[in-house]
Structure 1
């Protein structure tokens, strides 16, 4: 499989990249700035030189997405998976009365418009009728059924991402492309913190099983966790 993974420099994105390479896949690892490449990603580049392509992609900059997509098309790259992993969590210490609205805008820019931009420019590169997938990394915080109050920017952005996933699913199924929003679980990352009960590698394993089609998921589902279990929208 040829996989494009955003936010691949650290956390869950790095673990997804590592596991995909170990399983023999080719990865286009995208990150906001090449200079920010972590030691872990650079080690993977040295170990899997022929499988790993590191590219600069700030998902909020549509021109960068368009330029990278054009380069991949020129290289005759066909994608079998897009994992929209780049995301941010801001403003969780605020109540609605103190919430800085610019944090809402920034969060939506990355967590919503980012995946939209990626889908717009890279979905044309997905191989038709070949089991290709678009996996949008969401969160249980985006469930309207289980809304808990607080985390307004993050939760609302993930709810919107779930809606986008549903819309995109209804568009790309005609090409044989599966679209899912995935709750990765509460994992130990910079975002999840060290109190999280699960390692990022465990979540990445489940997500990769979904990407590879090893986990059976009912056709009507769009929001699942990393094991493929249905999540309430």
Structure 2
């Protein structure tokens, strides 16, 4: 299976790339710039022929279009997309003090980026339930459980949930599965050291969903990494 993973060089994205490679998949690992490759170079060497690290800035539509053009020229189909790249700004900042620039940037990365990725890569996906789009979301995006904080992050994740629901309906006739996935509160740069969750466990659960090893309600679109429905 050919899987495109954005934000693949660190945190959950790195663990997703590792988990997918360990299961024999081929990964197109999107990183914003070669200077940010980090441990990805070691992973590429560890799994020769399975991982291709590519420059991919989800806020730069030209870079996304270039990737799509390259894949098309190489006649490589895309079996799955994991929109993992994300940003957390304005944590704990009261609305009265909130820089609106943080809200704009959050939407650029957390919503507009995934939308542009799908815009350009969906034409490279054949139909069938073995194909999937997994958008990494958060419990913070639940409207019913809104907690009155982290405004840029939470609202942008609510938006990616809505996009996932719309996309699920849009590709229904093609059989492509679409989910917004809450990965849990995990120990990453974003989640922090206090987070109780293991990013490797979360990543493996998400790949299980991709591989249809977890039974997920066909009507659900917002689930956790175990495939369980999340409150909307």
Which residue number corresponds to residue 10 of structure 2? 10
Query: What SS does the corresponding residue of 1:205 show, helix, strand or coil?
Result: helix
1:82-101 equivalence runs, <5 A: 82-101=81-100
Q: Which residue of 2 aligns with 1:157?
A: 156
Is the 1:80–1:130 Cα contact (8 Å) retained in structure 2? no
Shift of 1:127: 2.2
Q: Does 1:29 align with 2:16?
A: no
Pairs within 5 Å for 1:138-217 = 138-217=137-216
Distance 1:136 1:50 in 2: 26
- For structure 2, the residue ranges without an aligned partner over 5 or more in a row are none
Q: Which residue of 1 aligns with 2:229?
A: 230
CA RMSD of aligned residues (A): 0.7
Q: CA deviation at 1:216?
A: 1.0
User: TM-score, with normalisation over the residues of structure 1?
Assistant: 0.98
SS in 2 for 1:53: strand
Distance in 2 between the 1:82 and 1:157 partners? Answer: 19
> In the aligned structure 1, how far is the partner of 2:146 from the partner of 2:92?
17
* 8 Å Cα contact 1:188-1:199 kept in structure 2: yes
Contact 2:129–2:177 (Cα < 8 Å) also in 1: no
> Cα distance, 1:196 vs. partner?
0.6
Aligned residues: 232
Q: TM-score, normalised by structure 2?
A: 0.99
1:129 deviation in Å?
1.6
Which segments of structure 1 move beyond 3 Å, counting only runs of 4 or more?
none
- Hey, what's the Cα distance between the residues in 1 that align with 2:140 and 2:122? 26
Confirm whether residue 76 of structure 1 aligns to residue 69 of structure 2. Answer: no
Q: What are the residue-to-residue correspondences of 1:109-124 with 2, within 5 Å?
A: 109-124=108-123
Q: Give a deviation string over 1:18-73, Cα, whole Å, max 9, x none.
A: 0100000000000110221012x111111112111110010011111111100001
Q: Distance in 2 between matches of 1:84 and 1:93?
A: 25
Q: Partners of 1:53 and 1:68 in 2: how far apart?
A: 12
